[in-house]
Amino acid sequence: MSTFVLLHGAWHGGWVWRRVAAQLRTAGHEVLAPTLTGISDRAHLLSPAVGLDTHVRDVVALLDAEGSSDVVLVGHSYAGQVVTGVADERPEAIGRRVYLDAFVGEDGEAAIDLLPAQVAGHYRESVAGPGFGWLIPVRSLQALGVTDQADVEWLTPRLTPHPWRTYTQPLALTGRQRDVPATFVECTDWMRVFRAHAERAESAGWPVLSLPTGHEAMVTAPEALAKILIDTAD
């Protein structure tokens, strides 16, 4: 059986994986789904100093404390940057990295520069206005492909602004992350912000899989996503 470490994207917490985690555990796998510093149920730790390096340290510390090896490290959306940073620091602990509709960054690249220009512009405007210069306000769930009202009501009260520095701080890599096999899963039933990253993964020779759902696949298609993860681990 595999150990899955599931990393949430911007504004969310580890709880967002609840439906997928249940499927993985039923299949006999171990699941860890931490909440990154400063977000959701760890919003009490939020400050302008929280950056990508903070979140990489969160996960490295978790892997070290668990004594992990051969884990399947899954990152959704923003957390693709975290997956890459962690794989560079602890390649020996990870058996496979999975990018779920996520950033595929290289050394020196920041998340904000990896977004389509129009989306990046919207982020910058939001940060400069209601984000007080250091927060990314929560985006519309409908824009992310969440249309079921019950899902909207479950997610909305749990989402919190995301620290801007995590998007502006670039990856600092040695290249060791390339030793860890990788898979990309693209969610195709929305505006497909991460299409360029699926293409980057394909160019690198990674398996690239399609999931016909919105960006929040762990909420809108948990069974299908769990099956993909299990098949990927196998």
What average pLDDT does this structure show over 3-29? 98
CA pair distance 74, 232, nearest whole angstrom: 11
| Four-point Cα dihedral 115, 116, 117, 122, nearest 10 | -70
pLDDT for 234 beyond 90: no
Query: Two tokens at 207?
Result: 């398996």
What average pLDDT does this structure show over 42-54? 98
Neighbours of 20 (CB within 10 A): 26
Active site residue 210: no
Query: Two tokens at 185?
Result: 């899963």
The closest of 210, 205, 199, 203 to 182, measured between CA atoms, is: 205
Mean pLDDT (the chain) is: 97
pLDDT for 68 beyond 90: no
Query: Two tokens at 225?
Result: 């996503």
* Alpha carbon distances (Å) from 193 to 25, 63, 151, 218: 30, 30, 21, 17
Pairing relation of β-strands 135-136 and 162-163?
antiparallel
pLDDT in tens, 135-181: 999 999 999 999 999 999 999 999 999 999 999 999 999 999 999 99
The closest of 105, 112, 115, 48 to 82, measured between CA atoms, is: 105
pTM for this prediction? 0.98
Neighbours of 118 (CB within 10 A): 8
Catalytic hit among 47, 68, 77, 126 = 77
